[in-house]
Amino acid sequence: MSFTFRRPRKTNRSHAADRAGFNEAKPSPKGRVLLFLFGLPFFAAGLFFGWIGAIQPLAGVIESRSWPQVPCRIVTSEIETNRSSDGNTYRVAITFDYAFEGNTYIGGRYDFDDVSSSGYDGKSAIVARHPVGSETVCWVNPLDPAEAVLSRSIPGTVYFIIPFSGLFMLVGGGIMLGSAGLLPRRWSAKLQPKHQPLPEADQREVTLKPASGPVAKLVGTILFGAFWNGIVGVFVWQVVDSFRTGNPEWFLVFFLVPFVAVGIGFLGGVAYFALALANPRFRLTLSEGNPRLGSQVRLTWHTSGALHRLSNLAITLEGHETATYKVGTRSTTDKSLFFREPVFETDVPAAHRNGHLTFSIPPDQMHSFSAAHNKIEWSLHVTGPIRRWPDVNDRYPLTVRPLAPED
Amino acid sequence: MDTSLYIDLPKTAYAPGETVSGTLFWVLPEPPEEIRLTAGWWTEGRGTKDAQIEMTREWQTTSLAGEEKFSLTLPTHPYSFSGTLISLIWAIELSTRQGEHSVSERITLSPLDHPIQLAHIDEGGNKSISVLRRR
């Protein structure tokens, strides 16, 4: 059989290696193994705690349904306390004697829950219901009469441990199956964030929200700073203590210098953002929420606060490329500014507390684009320097759609 | 027997929403069971690759050689673009069922006849068009 191309512009040799870039690269064997090992402890921990805390007790409860009931007498009744650095846990410790088929036994199990847990009050109530010397009933394992329990109820901890250990097994198992390529393709695709398509329909007037508000910046800095300084503070205290006892740890002193510097930076950041709370606030409204490339948009702004403190005010339309990648285990995001055009500028901000204007979105740039690691982001950037005070520096993201079809 | 796959396209630059029409040709050493045409995009550059398959067409066939006309209507976005950190590239790929044989042709999806070029403006205000800062 022979076949001749009608228009042989070039010769094609096809190879599996010439796949287009949108085909998924197979993860390296080393990567797969590492991912599998990462998921294994989660799965193992979930399985272990699930077995000990849920499956074994449930199996005992089910099996005991056929056990005969016999009278018994409480011998000892108390709460056993396990002390640890994480806090105390408790266990009901009741012993009882009973007779079965002519023999006498001492039982030591209240129910099928052999795990110490927090929650003193519930266990105290159980002990109170079984005072020493009282008569009650117990259930005996006919195949092993030395095994008996006072209660065949499902232990309360089972209801907590099942979802908890189930979640660990699900996450760990999912990671392990994913590393082996055994997850259904649809699931793998859903777990990875994807490209967000842009809306087709026009949107009416919308008020833009800042990328991060002044309160969010302050709270974020406080939380990160507290976490950082909390940890560094432990070691700083160790250094101080070492000086007090006359045994200074000089290596630790020098080692801590950069960490303390960062901690001081956080404190400075808290002060900076706290002062910035007093800055003027801007409300920006666009006539079209998702403007298209090449379109004209009406911007309206309203300001509250002491605008006279700004030496000037500018609103700038900006476009950024944002690329996220891993360096080792650390994730890094780089940004590059590709478009900047002033929309409004004034040296007398106080005279423009409220205003409106029409500006154009350029027709020859890239529209907004959002994928898991790469983005094209447009924003209106409001800037206003304030002497001896944190400057106004807020970004208001907006979505820019492609050119209108007729364009 | 030689293995050859070929996508015959009249052009490689397309407007958003335009229909791509062409012809597929194949010569294979074994029956393919299925010939697949896929259109999609991916990113290259500093960031970790993102990719998406936008559409797929399949033909069931056991012919060792043949040709098939096709037409695909491309979506309106994302545009092909080339920036300082990121480039987005569109392609059409012809492959057999298991992907053991494949060939791809890069195309441009853009309102211009070339990918959108993004400049680099340093935050101090100087503008340059540079492709030198890729990883």
Q: Which of A338, A378, A374 is nearest to A359 (CA)?
A: A378
Which residue intervals of A277-335 are DSSP H helices?
none
Which residues face A69 on adjacent strands?
A139
Rg from Cα positions in chain A: 34
Once rounded to an integer, what is the mean pLDDT over residues A356-381? 95
pLDDT in tens, A261-313: 999 999 999 999 898 888 889 999 999 889 999 999 999 999 988 888 888 99
User: A with B: how many residue pairs have Cβ under 8 Å apart?
Assistant: 170
Interchain pair B38, A336: CB under 8 A: no
- Give SS3 for A329: coil
What is the 8-class DSSP label of residue A354? E
**Nearest CA distance, B129 vs chain A (angstrom):** 9
What is the 8-class DSSP label of residue A186? H
Q: Of the candidates B43, B100, B103, which has its C-beta nearest A12's C-beta? A: B103
Residues 259-278 of A with CB under 8 A from B: none
Instruction: Average the pLDDT over each of A6-20, A263-277, A341-355, B29-43 and give the range with the smallest value.
Output: A6-20
Residues 183-222 of A with CB under 8 A from B: 194-195, 197-198
Using a CB-CB cut-off of 8 Å, the residues of chain B touching A367 are 77-79
Query: For residue B125, what is the nearest residue in chain A, using CA coordinates?
Result: A340
**CB burial string A53-77: b at 16+ within 10 A, e below:** bbbbbeebbeebeebeebebebeeb
Label residue A4 by pLDDT band (50, 70, 90): very low
Interchain pair B95, A19: CB under 8 A: yes
Rg from Cα positions in chain B: 18
Using a CB-CB cut-off of 8 Å, the residues of chain A touching B99 are 16, 19, 23
Interchain pair B43, A9: CB under 8 A: no
> What's the pLDDT at A189?
53
Once rounded to an integer, what is the mean pLDDT over residues A128-136? 92
Query: For residue A323, what is the nearest residue in chain B, using CA coordinates?
Result: B47
Cβ A90 vs Cβ A116: under 8 Å: yes
Q: Of the candidates A6, A322, A366, which has its C-beta nearest B79's C-beta? A: A366
Q: Which two tokens stand for residue A136?
A: 């009650």
Q: How many CB atoms lie within 10 A of CB A336?
A: 23
- Give SS3 for A326: strand
Q: Which helix (H) or strand (E) holds A159?
A: helix A156-179
Which residues face A334 on adjacent strands?
A323
In this structure, which amino acid lies at residue A117?
Answer: S
Strands A89-100 and A69-82: antiparallel
pLDDT in tens, A211-246: 888 888 899 999 999 999 998 998 888 888 888 888
In this structure, which amino acid lies at residue A43?
Answer: F
pLDDT at A9 over 50: no
Cβ A376 vs Cβ A369: under 8 Å: yes
A334 lies within 8 A of chain B by CB: yes
> What's the pLDDT at A286?
93
Using a CB-CB cut-off of 8 Å, the residues of chain A touching B133 are 336
Instruction: Average the pLDDT over each of A3-12, A253-262, A346-355, B66-75 and give the range with the smallest value.
Output: A3-12
Q: Of the candidates A20, A324, A340, which has its C-beta nearest B93's C-beta? A: A20
In this structure, which amino acid lies at residue A225?
Answer: G
**CB burial string B9-36: b at 16+ within 10 A, e below:** eeeeebbbeeebebbbbbbbeeebeebb
| A224-A229-A231-A236 Cα dihedral, nearest 10 degrees | 170
Q: Which of A13, A2, A8, A17 is nearest to B3 (CA)?
A: A13
**CB burial string A147-158: b at 16+ within 10 A, e below:** bbbbbbebbebb
Using a CB-CB cut-off of 8 Å, the residues of chain B touching A371 are 43, 50, 52
A7 lies within 8 A of chain B by CB: yes
Give the distance from CA A306 to its chain's centroid. Answer: 38
> What's the pLDDT at B130?
40
Distance CA A140, CA A148 (A): 4
Residues 30-59 of A with CB under 8 A from B: none
Interchain pair A339, B53: CB under 8 A: no
pLDDT in tens, B57-103: 999 988 889 999 999 999 999 999 999 999 999 999 999 876 678 89
- Give SS3 for B77: coil
> What's the pLDDT at A396?
95
Q: How many CB atoms lie within 10 A of CB A360?
A: 14
Once rounded to an integer, what is the mean pLDDT over residues A383-399? 91
Residue linked to tokens 């059409």: B92
- Average model confidence (pLDDT) across chain A: 86
Task: Find which of A190, A374, A401 to mutate to test the B interface (most B CBs within 10 Å of its CB).
Answer: A374
CA angle in degrees (0–180, nearest 5) for B68-A13-A6: 40
Label residue A14 by pLDDT band (50, 70, 90): very low
**Residues making up chain B, counted from first to last:** 135
Top pLDDT among B32 and B15 is at B15
Distance CA A228, CA A147 (A): 52
Query: For residue B95, what is the nearest residue in chain A, using CA coordinates?
Result: A19
Distances in whole angstroms, Cα of residue B133 to Cα of each of A4, B47, B81, B84, B86? 45, 12, 16, 6, 10
Using a CB-CB cut-off of 8 Å, the residues of chain A touching B16 are 402-403, 405
